[in-house]
Structure 1
């Protein structure tokens, strides 16, 4: 899983699974086929891979690897060269598949090229530096405003365009399926600088709304990481502390699954808390710092969850308006 730690003198047997943010301490070992989770890790009945790994045809595995290479060398590596050696030994099924891959890859390439055109902002900063001796910090401030006015709408457009201006839907598939390839293309184009801007300010929820997150009123976001933004729903008066992760997908053993995450009104995620896909947080519930909420958990209203994996710690009495007023 993500964020796992293996100490010296540890081992994982064939088919073993170690959950997210878990750790094997010195001398621990996972027997063949067992599933462990926690810090220190202990045996669990949870299965982190609902979709079993498949053995795809050689050509399909090759196509997937080719798409990965194109992601790394988007413009340098031309697509025809990658498939030339296979071209004469395949049938109609391959040509149909390669057509789909070519379309997706072309869209990705144009996305990278379009991002490169943001170099036009250098012209703004060139002017700002030229006028710095006359306008001093005012020239830099104006340059920041103009750059933001160009880049923020552009990156929002790129991310929404990567989804065809639609929203993500829950998926259960393998990494060799075209559906996952499209999702991975979205990841690459959605990893933009604006997702880290304005943490802890009222502008942060505004950015999230424009990126497709359903966000309520009076939300504080101190720097949360949302991997699938259109699969997340955040209610009113929610607090997202620094470093918390809201991950609406799982990727393990060649299997990919995604689902909604719903955070109710008045909920709180502590620093570095991790919420997995399929989680529903009831009104006023709280996830403590460094806690990991497993996929599919339903947190009752006004409950506090703590630990890795997170378990119900206790309930709290909600504070009503005027309860703190003295008689």
Structure 2
């Protein structure tokens, strides 16, 4: 057995002991916080090694970007705020090639900046289209396709996504997810 294989197994054993997790080998070899620093993300941000970043992507501080995500800033820039959770499998785009494909290449790609505000939770497997702005304090439900913008403190879900509620804060700072105010 090679020494690098032995070292990898030691890292895997330590991860299992410390966190009760077994991760793909690449996630054991590369530090999530170092990757975030490398791409210029804010302090305290972590980005899994399996996250693909394209083009101009800006990520704030203390944001968690999960595994198997795609952050595409190649068509106008992508901005993600502070204290966000971008869950596993999320794809966020700043361009599309629908018209290019349908026209047999006669039309070009369409681009538009995409923005995720501060303190947002984007649940697993969401797709956010180019040109969308999601306000501060929003929640996007799992498997949603977001193809339009939403204001601050909106709970969003569905395909296509629509408003299904609002986020409220009590006087004591307690958070309430209110599903009585829908689109």
The bucket for the TM-score relative to the shorter chain is 0.5 to 0.7
Instruction: Flag the 1:310–1:204 CA change in 2: closer, same or farther, 3 A.
Output: farther
Which of 289, 295, 298 is the equivalent residue of 2:142?
289
- Residues 138 and 304 (structure 1 numbering): CA distance in 2 closer, same or farther, change over 3 Å? closer
Q: Secondary structure at the match of 1:202?
A: helix
The alpha-carbon distance between structure 1 residues 206 and 313, as it changes in their structure 2 partners (threshold 3 A), is same
TM-score when scaled to structure 2?
A: 0.62
Instruction: Tell me the alpha carbon deviations over residues 190-232 of structure 1, each in whole angstroms, 9 at most, x when there is no partner.
Output: xxxx9xx869x43443344376421111001112211335711
C-alpha distance in structure 1 between counterparts of 2:111 and 2:135, whole Å: 20
Indicate which of 42, 66, 83 corresponds to 1:222.
Answer: 66
**Aligned counterpart for 1:315 among listed residues 154, 161, 166:** 166
The CA RMSD over aligned residues, in Å, is 3.2
TM-score normalised to structure 1 length: 0.36
Query: Structure 1 residues 139, 316: CA separation in 2 closer, same or farther (over 3 Å shift)?
Result: closer
Counterpart in 1 of 2:152? 301
Aligned counterparts of 1:251 and 1:219: Cα–Cα separation in 2? 29
| Structure 2: stretches of 5+ with no match in the other structure | 11-25, 42-52, 175-183
Question: After the TM superposition, which of the residue ranges 279-288 and 206-215 deviates more from structure 2?
Answer: 206-215
Gaps of 5+ in 1: 1-128, 142-193
- Asked whether the equivalents of residues 57 and 72 of structure 2 are also in contact (C-alpha less than 8 Å), the reply is no
Q: Quick one: distance in 1 between partners of 2:139 and 2:30?
A: 24
Alpha carbons 2:126, 2:143 under 8 Å: kept: yes
Q: Is the 8 A contact 1:215 1:233 kept in 2?
A: yes
Q: Residue 251 of structure 1 aligns with which residue? A: 97
The within-5 A match list for 1:125-136 is 129=2, 132=3
2:82–2:119 Cα contact (<8 Å) kept: yes
User: Higher strand proportion, which one?
Assistant: 2
The structural deviation recorded for 1:270 is 0.8
Query: Is 1:239 matched with 2:77?
Result: no
CA contact (8 A) 2:132 2:149 kept: yes
3-state secondary structure, aligned to 1:218: coil
Over 3 Å counting, the alpha-carbon distance change for 1:314 and 1:248 in structure 2 is same
How far apart are 1:138 and its partner, in Å? Answer: 5.3
Give the superposition deviation at 1:259.
1.1
Contact 2:88 2:124 in 1 (8 A): yes
Query: Are 1:262 and 1:281, in contact at CA under 8 Å, matched by a contact in 2?
Result: yes
How many equivalent pairs are there? 135
- In the TM superposition, what is the alpha-carbon distance from 1:235 to its structure 2 partner? 0.7
Contact 1:235-1:265 at 8 Å conserved across structures: yes
SS in structure 2 at match of 1:236:
coil
